[in-house]
Each structure stands twice: as C-alpha cells, then as structure tokens.
C-alpha cells in the first residue's frame, strides 16, 4: 500500500466511520455522550472511528496493527460504553480490586496489556524477552495517550505529530480529519480512540527502535510519565510552559 493510499484510507475512513456511527450509534446516542471539562456535551464516537481507520491505514504488519489498534480500541470502547464515574487511574482501579470490585477500567488495563503483547509478537521478535518488552512499551504508550485526552485536541495533536515522526502517514491523516470536531468540542476520543492511537504509535516505536536498550529507555520514559500523572497534573505543566501552552490551545474555542 502506497503512502498516498494510506493517507486517503486514514482520512476518508475516519470521517466515513464517524458519520456512520453517529447515524446508527450502537446502544443509542446517550451511551456515547459525555460532558467535557466545560460542561459541553460531546460524542465519543470519533474514538471507535479513529481506532478502525488508523488500524486499516497503519504501516505496521497486519497482525501487529490489528492487535494494537483494534484490540486496544475494543477494550477502550467497552470502558467508554459500560464504565461510569468511580475509580480513576491505576491506583484507583487497583484499590477497587483490593476491595473485590472489578471495574471496567481494570478490565481495560488487562485487555490493553494483552493487546500489547499480541501486537509485539506480530513485529517479528527475536525472543520472548522482546515480546514482553515490546508489549510493555505498546501498553504504556496506549495509556499515555489516554492521559492526554483531557482537553480538546490535545491527544490528536500529539498523536498526529508522533505518527508523522514514526512514519505512519495514514494514522496522522485519520487524526487530522477528526481534529476540528475535537477542537470544536463536539467530539472526544475517549478511551477507544486514545488507547488505540497510543497503542499503534507504541507498536510503531517498537518497530523503529534498534535494540533492547533503546526500548528499555522508552519504557522508562513512559513509566516515569505515567507515575508522574498520578501526582502531577499534565494540564498544569502544559499551562506553565509557554510553547506547550501555545500548541495545546491552538485552534481551541476561546
């Protein structure tokens, strides 16, 4: 598949899927509607649209793309559709498990771990160690993108730029065509879109990194950022850093 075909498939696929899902939302529109940080009603249906379009348009091996995009997107969609207010973050879900409560978020975390391992195994690893390390990077990347999906356009901007840097033009195109709706506070990626986008980018990163040392370094960065998110607000850090604040607010509603 050529670069041009991937771009067209990603962009047209994301828009077409979004329109189809909005016309016939699984389980009804209410299930996929949430209130954002400013009290506006937004649709989460762009998330499954991005997951499917990015999977189809990615430059990854087919098995790795399906496990990362469709796999992480599926468990993310389950959390979007069936989850509710309650436990948040790793600590919150682990605390719920200790109380004997299995949250949809905990199911999603386990599902993303499995999807990461399956995707890593599709990248022609040399040993079981490579599968474990690659799977951890993919799962960590999926989680990190989800942590960024707290303000309009943030996750799509980061994901789209990362996709270009990692040689995934189709994924970048899918992100770009969904960006106006996200910035306009009509849509939001939710777990389905953010987890799928992050997992595909994680798989692309694993594919590009030359060896275990560089993958360990990437995993260390992802782990540090995830741990920091439990105690530090990414939004506060971004707002306190002028270049990041400018990029983050670019195109948003006033």
Using alpha carbons, list the distances in angstroms from residue 23 to 28, 48, 182.
Answer: 10, 14, 18
Residue 203 or residue 83, greater confidence: 203
- Overall pTM > 0.85: yes
CB-based contacts of 212, cutoff 8 Å, min separation 6: 129, 130, 133
pLDDT above 70 as % of the chain: 92
Q: Out of 49-53, 92-96, 217-221, which region has the weakest mean confidence (pLDDT)?
A: 92-96
pLDDT band at 230 (very low <50, low <70, confident <90, very high): confident
- pLDDT of res. 27: 85
pLDDT, one tens digit per residue, over 57-70 is 999 999 999 999 99
Report the alpha-carbon angle 154-156-159, nearest 5.
105
Query: Which residue from 156, 172, 176 is spatially nearest to 164, judged by alpha carbons?
Result: 172
Taking the CA atoms of 147, 248, 137 and 181 in sequence, report the sign of the dihedral they define.
positive
pLDDT number for residue 252: 92
- DSSP H or E segment with residue 229: helix 212-229
φ, ψ of residue 187 to 5 degrees: the values are: -135, 165
Structure-model confidence comparison of residues 80 and 168, the more confident one: 168
Q: To 5 degrees, how large is the angle CA 17–CA 18–CA 24?
A: 90
Of 50, 211, 57, 242, the closest CA to residue 145 belongs to: 50
Other CB atoms within a 10 A radius of the CB of residue 88 amount to 11
In this structure, the number of other CB atoms found within 10 A of the CB of residue 55 comes to 27
pLDDT at position 203 is 97
Q: Are 212 and 129 in contact (CB under 8 A)?
A: yes
Determine the average pLDDT of the residues in 73-79: 91
180-196: pLDDT as tens digits? 999 999 999 999 999 99
Q: Are 144 and 225 in contact (CB under 8 A)?
A: yes
The residue whose two tokens read 């990190």 is 144
Instruction: Look up tokens 């696929």; give the residue.
Output: 13
Residue 134 has pLDDT above 90, yes or no: yes
Q: What sections of 26-153 are H helices per DSSP?
A: 46-57, 62-65, 72-82, 89-98, 104-121, 128-148
How far is 70 from 193, CA to CA, in rounded Å? 10
């Amino acid at each position: 598949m050529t670069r041009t075909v991937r771009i067209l498939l990603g962009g047209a696929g994301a828009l077409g899927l979004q329109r189809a899902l909005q016309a016939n939302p699984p389980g009804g529109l209410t299930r996929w509607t949430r209130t954002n940080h400013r009290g506006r009603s937004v649709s989460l249906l762009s998330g499954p649209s991005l997951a499917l379009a990015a999977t189809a348009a990615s430059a990854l091996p087919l098995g790795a793309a399906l496990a990362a995009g469709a796999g992480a997107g599926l468990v993310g969609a389950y959390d979007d559709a069936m989850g509710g207010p309650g436990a948040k973050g790793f600590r919150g879900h682990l605390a719920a498990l200790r109380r004997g409560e299995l949250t949809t978020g905990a199911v999603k975390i386990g599902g993303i771990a499995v999807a990461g391992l399956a995707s890593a195994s599709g990248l022609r690893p040399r040993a079981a160690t490579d599968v474990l390390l690659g799977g951890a990077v993919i799962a960590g990347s999926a989680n990190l993108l989800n942590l960024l999906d707290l303000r309009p356009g943030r996750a799509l901007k980061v994901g789209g730029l990362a996709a270009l840097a990692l040689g995934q033009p189709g994924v970048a195109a899918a992100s770009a065509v969904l960006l106006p709706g996200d910035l306009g506070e009509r849509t939001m990626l939710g777990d389905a879109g953010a987890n799928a986008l992050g997992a595909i980018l994680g798989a692309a990163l694993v594919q590009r990194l030359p060896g275990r040392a560089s993958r360990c370094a990437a995993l260390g960065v992802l782990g540090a950022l995830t741990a920091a998110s439990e105690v530090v607000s990414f939004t506060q850090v971004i707002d306190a850093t002028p270049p990041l604040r400018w990029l983050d607010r670019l195109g948003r509603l006033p």
